[in-house]
Amino acid sequence: MFACTRRLGFGGVSKSAIHVSSVGGIERGFSVRVCRACQDPPCVHLCPEEALLPRPGGGVTLNKDKCTGCKKCLEGCILGAISWDHEENRPIICIYCGYCAQYCPYEVIELQELMADES
């Protein structure tokens, strides 16, 4: 989570696109909530301004200039992987940079290249 915000030059975790939480301490493990690069992202369909666009290979990209801060994308993400930036009034969405995987001390997170459907 820290790596995600550090790539933007921020400290803390408030602007992180990945969220790791305990599901019962070390014995039970942890839960990772992050965009899973849906092939047909529900959040895209709910955005009235077309600020979210499907990304080749899965997931979305955000056009910040088109976003009006309606929060419909939060409702559309079935994984709860979209966070909200209250300062900028827009979603925090994974950009698939791989920083989280690069800095994960346990190597449980990895970034995989997804191939766009060629049909």
3-state secondary structure of 109: coil
Q: What is the pTM of this model?
A: 0.81
pLDDT tens for residues 56-93?
Answer: 888 999 999 999 999 999 999 999 999 999 999 999 99
User: Distance from first CA to last CA of the chain, Å, rounded?
Assistant: 36
The pLDDT score that the predictor gives to residue 118 is: 45
Which H or E run contains 75? helix 72-76
Domain spans of the chain, in order of start? 2-103
Q: What is the number of other CB atoms lying within 10 angstroms of the CB of residue 29?
A: 11
Q: Residue 81: which residues within 8 A CB-CB, separation 6 or more?
A: 17, 33, 34, 35, 36, 94
pLDDT tens for residues 13-71?
Answer: 889 999 988 888 777 888 889 999 999 999 999 999 999 999 988 899 999 999 999 99
The two structure tokens encoding residue 9 = 């030059």
Overall fold of domain 2-103: Alpha-Beta Plaits (3.30.70)
